[in-house]
Amino acid sequence: MIIIARTALPGPELDGIREFVERHGLRTHVSHGTDRTVIGCVGDARAIDPHAVRALPGVEEVIPVRKPYRLASREFVAGRTVIPLGDRRGTLIGGPQLVVAAGPCSVEGRAMLLETATAVRASGARMLRGGAFKPRTSPWVFQGLGVEALELLAEARAATGLPVVTEVMDPRQVELVAAHADVLQIGARNMQNYALLAEVGRVRRPVLLKRGLSATVSELLLAAEHVMAQGNRDVILCERGIRTFETATRNTLDVGAVAVLKLETHLPVIVDPSHAAGRADLVAPLAFAAVAAGADGLIVEVHPRPSEARSDGDQSLTPAVFDDLMRALAPFAAAAGRTLDDEAPREPRARVA
């Protein structure tokens, strides 16, 4: 931690700051400048709240030196965390395989789900997505089929062999959802719902953690840290577009965040081009860009008849368009050193960490 004081002169303010820091077990190095003083604090600064230091007389600024996350950092795990999905040990996320999850925004019924699951599998998807509990901005619209949808997802998994990812919104339902799904999704709105993060941190299911609409990369990693601190280290991060002033797309896909995350953390990073685009005709270029920026996977909304969808119809691809997307994606995946083929990593590489 570095403290910048408003004065260059020794005196009671500087003494007060040094005493405060030293009382918390850190050592101080002082450099007097021409009109400010820099106080370097050596030791584990996590014991001190920088907000409290800022309240000391004479303090102008407090600069943390260490990253606030620990378990999610490359300093904690130097390699890459590779997470097996479902019981089929061939599908690993975070390694050379590019994993595409696809399926409807909401599970709307048995027939549509099976139709979609079969189609996306044939096109090369390696995970099935589908909402059972839907967070909806308005209370007056369709909120998902709930438990019935969970059962349909489990049936679709049995029929296609695809592991299933679905959102959980309530800490009281984590066990229920974990009993049906292979991966627990935390939606963007709940990225800082700490009661929920703690609960999914206690089950043995990978967690797909979506970035909040206005969360920084650092806050996304701290949200992962909340899950990991409870024991569950299998967190998959998901960039899905952030909220900016631009309205031409539903959200602004932040490919820079993908690139930063690949440097900052060992956790797998995927991208949701559907929610970023908000329009079916922009999903493909955003998917290509995500893979080019280094994403480990994608999660894409597919619906057999988008104009009948009960949510997100405008950004859902038809199975035929999804099939085109997957074909066009292959050379981008190859350029990024990835494969879409799940047979590739024949000897499942050892888990990192």
Give, as ranges, the residues between 60 and 99 that touch its own copies (CB under 8 A): 63, 65-66, 68-70, 75
Q: Which is nearer to its own copies, 163 or 273 (CB)?
A: 273
Residue ranges in 291-320 that form contacts with its own copies under rule CB under 8 A: 291-294, 306-316
- Output DSSP code: residue 350: P
Q: How far is the CB of 176 from its own copies (least distance, A)?
A: 13
* Half-sphere CA count of 182, side-chain side, radius 13 A: 27
Asked if 23 touches its own copies (CB under 8 A), the answer is no
Residues in the chain: 353
Nearer CB in complex with its own copies: 56/352: 56
* Type of residue at 168: V
Q: For residues 142-161, which are near its own copies according to CB under 8 A?
A: 142
- Per-position x/- string for 244-283, each x denoting binding to its own copies as judged by CB under 8 A, each - no binding: xxxxxx--xxxxxxxxx-xx------------xx-xxxx-
Q: Which region among 81-89, 123-131, 175-183, 235-243 touches its own copies (by CB under 8 A)?
A: 235-243
Q: Which is nearer to its own copies, 160 or 311 (CB)?
A: 311
Can you tell me which of 243, 320, 327, 344 binds its own copies, judged by CB under 8 A?
243
Q: Give the separation between CA 9 and CA 318, rounded to whole angstroms.
A: 69
- What part of residues 315-344 is at the interface with its own copies (CB under 8 A)? 315-316, 328, 331-332, 334-336
# residues contacting its own copies (CB under 8 A): 112
Stretch that binds its own copies, among 94-102, 111-119, 167-175, 178-186 (CB under 8 A): 167-175
State the nearest-atom distance from the C-beta of 287 to its own copies, in Å. 9
Q: How far is the CB of 91 from its own copies (least distance, A)?
A: 24
The CB-of-184 to its own copies minimum distance in angstroms stands at 15
Contact 301, 322 (CB under 8 A): no
Using CB under 8 A as the binding rule, the residues of this chain from 99 to 138 that contact its own copies are 135-138
Give 142-147's long-range contacts (Cβ < 8 A, gap of 24+).
142/106, 142/310, 142/311, 144/106, 144/107, 145/106, 145/107, 145/108, 145/109, 147/176
Q: How far apart are CA 290 and CA 238, in angstroms?
A: 11
Q: Which residues pair with 166 in a beta bridge?
A: 184
Mind giving me the DSSP string for 207-251? EEEEPPTT--HHHHHHHHHHHHTTT---EEEEE--B--S--SSSS
Q: Which residue lies nearer to its own copies by CB, 130 or 306?
A: 306
Q: Which of residues 204-223 bind its own copies (CB under 8 A)?
A: 212-214, 216-219, 222
Residues 6+ apart with CB under 8 A from 104: 112, 113, 116, 129, 130, 131, 301, 302, 303, 309, 316
Contact 302, 119 (CB under 8 A): yes
Token pair 């061939």 is at which residue?
90
